């Protein structure tokens, strides 16, 4: 197969990392693979050895038009069998680039919430240009069907895959990383994800302030882009709550497995999600996890972690405290159950098999 993956950017987010991992596996299986990226190259983005074409689309109508022209030229030269696009902007562009002719298009939605009614209308109006719309969780699929953005008969749920070889616990790395981070005997909670409203860091910080009232040895590390208005807002809240000495803002990090090794638990306080990759990676690393009940979190965690209501800081703090008060043996048992769940249900290699099967089904179906 000749496959082009269409993304908005290669920025250091979870969805981008999943797509690159999938594309890499398809290339290793002998398929001809390329990446078509809407935005210009970013200063910080995931590396890849695959061919990448940037359409250089910015906010101006002229750059968008020029990007479309560049994309059409590239597709005529590459002659793909299939376009696999990811998230709203890339999904709409891929459908528009395809037009009424081959290649086939598969769209993927990575979040329960991808915008308001105008975006849902755009999905509905362009649905005929896509063969399938895939969702990373059943919760996301249910919402889009309910909003009539995608018809039920064209939906498929294919959850994110986790690289269980990359995300495997390493006792020696834990010792080294904790020494480098001067963690000492502290109990370290890690949270990872961009500083954005979806991640609801204010909820996390309020919960952590409540936790600190009972456990002064608790520390919180936050790995995610630390800039912009949202970061200023949450950093101000941390200062207001008196957490400056117990919260570490790590910024963008490429060493998440090492950070997870060093941490004692992982916490996700999101207001909405699709299928949070970092949460699955923490489970693969045998970490006890506490997460809010949003999007596909319950589908991912099952019984191998603790789930609480979203926007309930007291419940989140109680769940974190419960993990800290449990015995190391109980936390280890929960962590082992979490990794077993990822190995059995969410490994990247298994997901690549599912995607490859879907591609073949789409290509073999009648136009």
Residue 204 scores a pLDDT above 80: yes
Check residue 73 and give its pLDDT: 93
Give the contacts of 128 (CB within 8 A, at least 6 positions apart): none
Domain ranges of the chain: 2-161+347-364, 171-345
Tokens of 116: 């308001």
Decide yes or no: CATH 3.90.420.10 for domain 171-345: no
Check residue 13 and give its pLDDT: 85
**Does 171-345 match 2-161+347-364 at the fold level?**
yes
The answer to whether the CB of 53 falls within 8 A of the CB of 35 is yes
Check residue 329 and give its pLDDT: 96
State how far the Cα of 64 lies from the Cα of 76, in Å rounded to an integer: 18
Q: What would the DSSP string read from start to end of 150-217?
A: S-GGGEEE----B-TTTS---HHHHHHHHHHTT-TT-EEEEEES-SSGGG-HHHHHHHHHHHHHH-TT
CATH ID of 2-161+347-364, from 3.40.50.2000, 3.10.20.30, 3.30.1360.10, 3.40.50.1100: 3.40.50.2000
pLDDT tens for residues 125-135?
999 999 999 99
Q: What average pLDDT does range 106-122 have in this prediction?
A: 94
Q: What average pLDDT does range 21-45 have in this prediction?
A: 95
Check residue 101 and give its pLDDT: 66
What pTM was computed for the model?
A: 0.91
Check residue 100 and give its pLDDT: 60
The answer to whether the CB of 124 falls within 8 A of the CB of 101 is no
Check residue 347 and give its pLDDT: 94
Q: How confident is the model at residue 366 (pLDDT cuts 50, 70, 90)?
A: low
Q: What average pLDDT does range 83-106 have in this prediction?
A: 90
State how far the Cα of 331 lies from the Cα of 286, in Å rounded to an integer: 9
Q: How confident is the model at residue 153 (pLDDT cuts 50, 70, 90)?
A: very high
pLDDT tens for residues 262-297?
999 999 999 999 999 999 999 999 999 999 999 999
Q: By C-alpha distance, which of 100, 114, 105 is closest to 143?
A: 114
């Amino acid at each position: 197969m000749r496959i082009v993956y269409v993304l908005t950017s290669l920025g250091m987010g979870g969805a981008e990392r999943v797509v690159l991992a999938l594309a890499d596996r398809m290339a290793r299986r002998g398929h001809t693979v390329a990446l078509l990226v809407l935005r210009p190259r970013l200063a910080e983005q995931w590396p890849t050895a695959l061919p990448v074409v940037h359409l250089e689309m910015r906010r101006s109508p002229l750059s968008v038009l020029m990007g479309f022209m560049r994309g059409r030229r590239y597709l005529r030269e590459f002659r793909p069998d299939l376009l696999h696009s990811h998230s709203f902007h890339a999904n709409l562009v891929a459908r528009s680039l395809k037009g009424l002719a081959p290649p086939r298009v598969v769209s993927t939605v990575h979040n329960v919430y991808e915008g308001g009614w105008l975006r849902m209308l755009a999905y509905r109006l362009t649905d005929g240009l896509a063969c399938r719309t895939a969702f990373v969780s059943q919760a996301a699929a249910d919402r889009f069907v309910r909003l009539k953005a995608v018809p039920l008969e064209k939906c498929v749920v294919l959850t994110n895959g986790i690289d269980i070889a990359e995300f495997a616990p390493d006792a020696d790395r834990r010792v080294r990383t904790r020494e480098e981070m001067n963690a000492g005997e502290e109990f370290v909670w890690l949270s990872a994800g961009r500083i954005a409203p979806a991640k609801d860091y204010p909820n996390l910080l309020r919960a952590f302030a409540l936790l600190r009232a009972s456990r002064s040895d608790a520390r919180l590390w936050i790995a995610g882009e630390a800039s912009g208005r949202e970061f200023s807002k949450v950093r101000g809240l941390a200062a207001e709550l008196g957490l400056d000495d117990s919260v570490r803002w790590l910024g963008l990090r490429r060493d998440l497995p090492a950070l997870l090794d060093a941490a004692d638990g992982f916490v996700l306080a999101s207001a909405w999600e699709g299928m949070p990759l970092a949460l699955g990676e923490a489970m693969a690393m045998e970490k006890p996890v506490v997460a809010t009940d949003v999007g596909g979190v319950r589908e991912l965690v099952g019984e191998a972690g603790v789930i609480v209501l979203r926007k309930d800081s007291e419940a989140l703090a109680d769940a974190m405290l419960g993990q800290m008060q449990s015995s190391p043996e109980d936390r280890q048992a929960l962590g082992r159950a979490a990794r077993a769940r990822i190995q059995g249900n969410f490994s990247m290699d298994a997901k690549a098999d599912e995607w490859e099967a879907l591609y073949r089904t789409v290509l073999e179906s009648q136009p």
